[in-house]
Each structure stands twice: as C-alpha cells, then as structure tokens.
Chains A and B, each alone.
Chain A
Amino acid sequence: MGTFFYELNSGILWRLYIPDNGFASRAFAFGGMLGVVSSLLLGKKELTAYNENALCSYELRTLPFLGVIFVWCCYPILILVNTYTSGAGLQIVAMSGQVNIWLALAGSAIGCYLASSFVHRKFCVHDMVFSSFTVHPPTLRAP
C-alpha cells in the first residue's frame, strides 16, 4: 500500500512538472510524514513511553553506524547512475554531481558532529546515525 501512494505521489509531481531529482519530496517528505502519522496512530503511549527496549544498546549502535558509512559512500552514486547512462555528454554532470553531493554530505556530517560534540561534550554515534544525512539534493539538473 505504501508503494501505491509513493507512485501516486511521484506521478503527480511528474504531471505538475516539479523537478525532484534528489527525491527530497517524493521519497523523504512522503516517507517521513507517513512514518510520523502512522506512528501517531500506533504509538500506544502507555506501552512505549518508558519501554526499556526503545533504545538500542551502546554496542549495537556500531551496526547502524556501519550502515550509515555504506550509505554515505553509495548515496551519490545511486542517485546519479541514471544520469550517467541516460545520454551523451551527461557523464560530466553525473561525475561532478557526485562530488558535489559528497561535499554536501561531508558538510552535513561535520555539522552533525559539531552539534553532537557541543551538546554531549563527546561524539555520539546515535546522533550521527539519525541526523548525519540532512542533505537531500534539491535539484540535480541535466543539460
């Protein structure tokens, strides 16, 4: 059912001619809102508010952090691979676009690291996992 609404939303954006090549709206805004609203309905406050299992153990945080590193490395490639193969002369756009996204992601990770260190006085893996990907390429253009 989620994929049905995703495609519906994606089709509407295409029909309205709204460039969303970085999927900021059709993936992140859509998915984020879906998750928050469905969680509001399913939250069961009395059972989750003080649930000791809500937070993963300190040791287990390493695993999602490894995942974040993998995604960090692959994200620009996945976004621009279609641009790379979709026509003559687009390779330079795909390659420069990747570098730009990696630079933006590096800025995001550094900003997250600074904020986490500022508040906790040390680097918190939890913060890096859940707020280091705050760069969603707004408009990646092709010539």
Chain B
Amino acid sequence: MVGFLCCLAQIKLKAKMNSGGIIDTNGTTFQFLVPSLFAAIFSAILEAVGQSSATFLTASNSTVTYTDLREASRSAQRQGAYQIAGWLISAGIGAVAGLIIGALYAIIDERSKAEHFFSDLYFYGPAKVG
C-alpha cells in the first residue's frame, strides 16, 4: 500500500515540486522522507499496543519472546509517542544540517550556467585552473 501511494505521489507530485527548479532528486522525498514517516507511525502503533513484548512459535516449535523494547518507566502508549518524536527529531536535525551544509556549499558553489548542472564532466572532469 505504501509502495502504491509513494509511487503515485512520485508520479503526480514530483513534477510539480520540480517545476520551479529541481529540488527533489534521487528519491529524497518519496523514497526516503515519506516512507520513513509511515514507518514511524507503524512503529508507534506497534509499540502502543504492546507488540514489542510479543511471543511467537517458530516452525521448529521453539518459543521466541521479544524483549520489551521500551524504556522501563514508560507506558506502551508513551513509547509509541516517543517513536513519533524520534522521527520529528531526526527530520529536524536533518533540516538544520541541510541548512548549514546548503549555506556553506552555496558560498563555494561556482556553477553559473545551465550546462554546469547535472553534468558529470563538470563535477568529475579535470580540475579547473585559475
């Protein structure tokens, strides 16, 4: 289901996102960012309903019990909320890192013509002198 939705979003929304200038390449939004949000929500649900301490029977009839992967003082619901908080923290730190790295690279960015973009020859060609 997530694959279907993300593929539709990639087809329909990516062109709109990039119509005013390329800002989404290599699946950063629809392969990394959006699916990770789905994963965080799914993880939060699993934690909140107590699935992190589930027991199951393997094909060889041995019982495996998952360790309760939540902090001892937290309730299951609270740990679920922490899973969402973890996604927000990661996205927030990613945004700050993107701002700093983007700003630093913008200072040394020498690209000034259209042919400089998406050009392997420009990026990986002989060093420019002078």
Contacts and interface: CB of A to CB of B under 8 A. Distances in A.
Contacts of A29: 32-33, 36-37, 40, 87, 90-91, 94
B94 A31 contact: yes
A47 to B, nearest CB: 5
B114 interface: yes
A125 interface: no
Given A9-B89, A25-B87, A48-B22, A36 B98 contact: yes
Contacts of B25: 35, 39
Nearest to A139: B43
A49 B36 contact: no
Interface string A105-143: 001111110111001100000010111111111110111
Interface in B49-66: 52, 58, 60, 62, 64-66
Contacts of A49: 18-22
B30 A24 contact: no
Name the residue among B8, B65, B90 with the largest chain A CB count within 10 angstroms: B90
B4 A112 contact: yes
A76 B47 CA distance: 22
Given A32-B28, A39-B22, A42-B109, A110 B3 contact: yes
A134 B118 contact: no
A141 B36 CA distance: 18
A142 B68 CA distance: 9
For A2, A45, A139, the residue with the greatest tally of chain B CB atoms inside 10 Å of its CB is A139
Contact of B43 (A17, A35, A138): A138
Contacts of B118: 48, 51, 53-54
A108 B38 CA distance: 13
A44 B117 contact: yes
A73 interface: no
26 contacts: A5-B93, A28-B32, A29-B32, A29-B90, A31-B32, A32-B31, A33-B95, A34-B97, A35-B28, A37-B98, A41-B106, A43-B22, A46-B21, A47-B117, A53-B115, A92-B58, A92-B62, A107-B3, A108-B2, A111-B4, A111-B5, A129-B27, A130-B30, A131-B31, A139-B46, A139-B47
